[in-house]
Structures are given as C-alpha cells and as structure tokens.
Chain A
Amino acid sequence: MAESRTRTYLGVPMYRPRVAFFEFSSCEGCQLQILNNESTLLDFLSLVEVVNFREAMTEQSEDYEIAFVEGSITRDDEIKRLKRIRKNAKTLVAMGSCACFGGVNQLKNRFRNPAGVKREVYGAHPVDSGPVRAVEDVVGVDLRIYGCPVSKDEVEKMVLHIAIGKSIVVPKYPVCMECKRNENICLFEFGEPCLGPVTRAGCDSWCPSNRAGCWGCRGPAEDVNLRQMIRIMEEHGFSEETITDRLECFGGFLSLMKPERGKGG
C-alpha cells in the first residue's frame, strides 16, 4: 500500500477522504464488520485516511470529511456529541439499523413503564437514558448503510465509490428479488413467515438463503405495500403478535405501520 495521495484509477486522480467512525448506543457490531474483513482491510484503508476509530486506534482528531455513525441516540450527552460530529463532517453516514431507525434498541420504546424497566435493568446504578431515536431524528443524514449488522461489502463499496467518483446505489426493490436470484424456494411454501417482500434488498437475501425468514433489518424497500403484507401474513395464519414482533423488531417499519394496523384482511 505504498501508493499515496497521488493514487489514480484509470488515470484519474482519486479522492482519499479523511474518515471517522463513531459509535453511540449499539453493540459496535457494525464497526467490527469492517475490521473483521482481513482479506480486504488493507485495501480498504488505502482508500481512506482514518482519523478516528475507537475500536482500532487511540489517536483521535476532529478534522474529518466523512463521519460514519453507528448506533441509536438515547442520552442527552449523545445528542451533544452527535451535533458536534454533524458540524465537523461534510458527509454524515448513518451506519446500520440502529443509526438508521433505532434498531433493536428502539424496542424499549414499546414499554409502557420505562421507569420500572430501567430499575429492573440498571438497579442501583441508574443510567440517564431516554427514548431511543434514529440518527436522522436528531441531525441531518446524507447517506445510509442499512443492515444489522451492515455488510462489509456495502461499506467497502460505498467508500470505493466515493474514492473513484462513482455514484452510490442502494437497491430500492425488496429482498424477494435477491431471494429468487439465489434460487430459493419461498419460505411461505414451508409455512414460515418472511418480510422479504417489503424489506429493502442489499443483503443478498441472507436470511432466506439460510432458510430463515427475513426480519426486516434493512427497513422498508421503496414503495412497499405493507397493508398487503400484513393481510398475506394473516391469511397464512400468523398471529397478530408474530406479525407485530417482526415488523417492530428493527424499527424500520414503525413510521409506516401505525396507520396500517388493523386494516389487514
């Protein structure tokens, strides 16, 4: 990786952005995905200049162009930190389901008695944590990388496209397209529920290809027909609880769901 700033791609000089990674309320699994990727990690790092990555380095800087933000926002100090990141970064990327829609964390917003739950969880060491919010509920977001966790390929592709000036395209269609491409037999045939028809593709139908129904971790595809999806699940005999649990799990469908419930059938 001796190439330096003068690196070119097909004769065109490349852009080597200064990037920073930040985590908020999350499992840090998304960042781990990037580090995990030993075979391509060096190539990846040669495309960018990482100035902030707590999981991998101690030195930190506020001089960056692209901020990758992982995690959902639950505390006041997080809001302050996030706003500062937004000010520093030219491009803010929400990375992973937590950052994009609150992720699994937002399930706690379902509790009717948050104070009681908190006492259960934290006992004598209370943590000042409020309702879970997606990054875009607090600051503006320029790009999103969906998934729980994100797929390393997608992160790498995004960075590569920024470096060589190619546009960033995320599938707009649902997981079913990839599921069929992978030549799977539909899980509904076997009587298993799946959110593939309403969930944004890009994971290469990871779950259905492993014979598990999609839980919608990448959030809604564009132009989804949630009312029909619910009706179909009901017709296949899945309980309201099964359907709701699935749709609420990662938070991506929440904004679409409220008016749709009860209209099925």
Chain B
Amino acid sequence: MIFRVFEKEELRQLFDILSDHNRVVGPVEAGRDRNGRPVYAFSDVREFNDIRLNHTVTKLPAKRYFLPFKEDLATFTIEKDNWHKSIAYNIERPFVLFGLHPCDINALNKLDKVLLHSVYPMPYYAAKRKNMFIIGLDCVPQPYCFCRSMGADTALHGFDMFITDLGSRYFVEILTDTAYNFLRHIRTEEPGEEDHILYMKVVAERNEKFTAHVDTTDLAKILDMEFQSDVWKYWGDRCLACGTCANVCPTCYCYGVEETVEINLKGARKTKMLYSCNVIDFAEVAGGHNFRPERHTRLKYRYYHKHRGFVEAFEESLCVGCGRCGESCLADITVPEVIASVRGSGGNE
C-alpha cells in the first residue's frame, strides 16, 4: 500500500481530471427531511461543489450501480416461429464512484464473495464491479452506525484509493495503478512522521464516536439455539413485510425474474428484480405452496441468512452495520435491537 498526503484544494483538481472523461457518481444532497436534516443519495455529479464529502449514510446504498433494482438479463426478438436472444451486461463504460464509506466498500467485498468468487459468478455484476474506479472516503459515525461491531468500519481492499480528512490535508491510501496514475496529475507528497501521527489520532477519535453496538460473540450458535424464541413473533408482529430493509441494504442480493412479452408479439424480455425475503411470496414456489407464510418466519429468515448462514459459508456475516435498514424501517426494527433481544431471550425464558 502506498500513502500520500495532499492539500485540500487538490481534490477539486482530481475531480475535474476524473470527470473530464468519465461519468462520476457521488454523494449529493437529495433534499431535507421533516426535521430539516439533509437526505443524501448517490447520483451522477458534474460539479465538484455538488459532492457532499461530509455526507452521512445515504438512504440507498451504491449497490444499485452494481446490482440495479431492475435489470434486463436478456431481450428477445421474435419473428414468426423463430426468436433471437441478445444479452448485455448493461454497463457501457467504466465510471468513477467518488466517496464511498468503509461500510459500502465492505458491502461490495461481501457481494464479491457470492457474485464474483463463487462457483457461478454473475457476469452482470462482474462486468460492473470490474469496471468501477472507487474512491473511498472516511466518515463520522452516526448514532445508528454499528459497522465496528461487524468488523466493517475500515476497508482494507475493494477500492482504488481511500481518502481520510486530516483536518488541513487529505491522507490517501493507494491500492491500484489506476489510482496512482491519476494522482500523478495533482500535487501530492510523501507523508511525514507528523502525518502518520495525525492519521492515527484521527482514526482513534473516530473510534470513540461509535455508540451503536451489536454483540456478535457466538452469534451464529445463539441464533441456532433461539430458533423457536418468542422474540421473533414480537418483531414479526411489528413488521409491515414491506421489503424496504432488503431494498436499502448494501449487501442483500436476492432477486426474482419476470418474463414479459410485448403486446405486438415481436419482442420479449427477461427482467431481474431485486427482491426481499420479508415480502409475502418470497418463499412461494410453483404450485402456490409458501414455505414462509408468516411474517415472523420471514423476518427471522433475513436475520438467519445474514448472521448465521452466511457466517457458516464465509466466516463473516452478511451485514456491514451501516444501519440503513433500521433507519428506513417505518416499524423501527433495527439490527442492534433485534440481536440484543435474541441474545437476551436465552437468559429470561
């Protein structure tokens, strides 16, 4: 890993160089909520000033640039009794993601395990993942952030460069040749001893700011033991089965496929849509049988996949602790509360 430091105004220069020839996506302010707080979203950015470098967690993750909510897997042209199929991976050219927090980068690394490095890689994901230039950005932990508990508060790989604000200057970690070459266009210098000290101080201060925690000790085992616990019923009674938690989650990847025929019968398409295990027909199979007709069993399944099944398969959980699901859940169902209630139920009942 190579480290450099640079003056703050150089970042604008870097943005301009990158955006000259590339599509750039970054965090912008999408509006103000009812309490006057900014709502952030990833969006195409043309002006450096539109990027919010101090953004808190965006409502939707950057996942949609890698796993779109809706994506055609194949289109068909139909002529008389014949048909022709075309497949596109739906990325025309590489683009730049400017300002991903550690949780979002770690989320991509988790998705990689399933969609890139598994027995059946998903070419639609791979084509996008391999064609993105990712600039990571440090963050200020929010009251709902529990990434530290999930070991996702720092990103070690899965990006091209990562920028940390040292106050007066930026500290940058460089992981790829591409990043190195881009950085040659702005003025950077070798960090000195004092920069290292400052960096460690900034990191330590950030660590102090985490307030939300999840105790993951033996969690996979505890979940196994608490499969019949009443707490699932409690949360299931609250849940609206709206699917929002999975839709805002940077690591959920489940999907459904729909085939549609055009009304003129000249074309058809196969469309993939991200799905959610909390919605009613997630586990419905051909013939109409539903393996999880009750809300609490579906909600439980979501937790079991993330904190038990995935852990058994990959030795890490499928949650980066970004807190998005809890923040977006109208029923106020949050991961720290659900896990705490499951852990607590063993002692009480």
A residues engaging B (CB < 8 A)? Answer: 8-11, 40, 43-44, 47, 156-157, 160, 164, 166, 172-174, 176-177, 180-183, 185-186, 188-191, 196-198, 221-225, 228-229, 232
Contacts and interface: CB of A to CB of B under 8 A. Distances in A.
Interface of B: 30-31, 33-34, 39, 41, 59-60, 64, 69-70, 78, 81, 83, 237-244, 247-248, 260-261, 263-265, 273-274, 276, 279-281, 293, 295, 328, 330-331
B70 A173 contact: no
B69 A183 contact: yes
A181 B240 contact: no
A8 B81 contact: yes
A174 B34 contact: no
A20 B150 CA distance: 60
A256 B338 CA distance: 28
B59 A185 contact: yes
A223 B237 CA distance: 11
A177 B295 contact: no
B69 A180 contact: yes
A10 B83 contact: yes
B273 A181 contact: yes
A43 B331 contact: no
Nearest to B238: A228
A223 B39 contact: no
A225 B59 contact: no
Contact of A176 (B31, B243, B263, B265): B243
A229 B241 CA distance: 11
Choose among B31, B78, B263, B273 the residue with the greatest number of A CB atoms under 10 Å from its CB.
Answer: B263
A47 B263 contact: yes
Nearest to B260: A157
A47 B262 CA distance: 12
B330 A173 contact: no
Nearest to B265: A9
A185 B31 contact: yes
Contacts of B241: 173-174, 221, 223-225
Contacts of B274: 181
A208 to B, nearest CB: 12
Interface centre among A174, A180, A224 (most CB of B within 10 A): A180
Nearest to A198: B240
6 contacts: A9-B265, A10-B81, A43-B265, A174-B279, A180-B69, A225-B237
A166 B59 CA distance: 37
Q: 4 tightest CB-CB pairs across the interface, nearest first?
A: A191-B34, A180-B247, A176-B242, A173-B279
B44 to A, nearest CB: 13
B239 A225 contact: yes
A189 B261 CA distance: 37
Given A172-B280, A180-B60, 20 more contacts: A40-B263, A44-B263, A173-B241, A173-B276, A173-B281, A174-B242, A174-B243, A176-B243, A177-B247, A177-B276, A183-B41, A185-B59, A188-B330, A189-B59, A190-B31, A191-B34, A222-B280, A225-B240, A225-B241, A225-B295
A181 B281 contact: no
A181 B293 CA distance: 23
